[in-house]
Amino acid sequence: MLWTPKIRLVTVLCSIVFVLGTALQNYAIIDLDLIEASMRLKGADTAESPTYLGALRLVGDVFIVGNALGLLVWFRWRWLFWPVLAFNVGQAFGVFVVPFEVHRAAIDEHGWPGVLPSLVTDGGAVILSIALIVAYVRSRRLTRTGDPVRL
């Protein structure tokens, strides 16, 4: 994939927002009380909540690093396309993977701002993933050998 200036700028800007949003969600919104509240809402035993919190934060850390990788797109390295796309598709699945009870508990504890970072990062990752796929398909239709189609 040849990084056009527009898709490169969009990817870097989204990556900045996603790093900040994921870090905010991971360390300011998600805490032991929120996890215990979400487990109670689900009817699950809260004894495993510290383990669940640790696993959830580990996943968040992986996405922080993956989103930070998107910042390197600024340097136009072609090999970054697939890892950046993979992390964004993975984060987009957060819309389906994160249990509703976690969002409900976040709303109860923090109000609507408690789910805003998750909505922005996961929803934004859906949009960025689609934009990257469209840019990839368009870049494969070359006007001349080696020149990408302008977006």
pLDDT tens figures, 15-53 = 999 999 999 999 999 999 999 999 999 888 889 899 989
Q: Where are the domains of the chain?
A: 5-142
Give the pLDDT score at 151. 52
Residues paired with 36 in a beta bridge: none
pTM, rounded to two decimals:
0.85
Residue 135 above 70 pLDDT? yes
pLDDT tens for 75-123 read 989 899 999 999 999 999 988 888 888 889 999 999 999 999 999 999 9
Residue 88 CB burial class (10 angstroms; 0-12, 13-18, ≥19): buried
Residue 142 above 80 pLDDT? no
Give the pLDDT score at 147. 58
Give the pLDDT score at 2. 72
Is 106 within 8 Å of 34 (Cβ atoms)?
A: yes
Is 1 within 8 Å of 136 (Cβ atoms)?
A: yes
Give the pLDDT score at 144. 53
DSSP state of 150: P
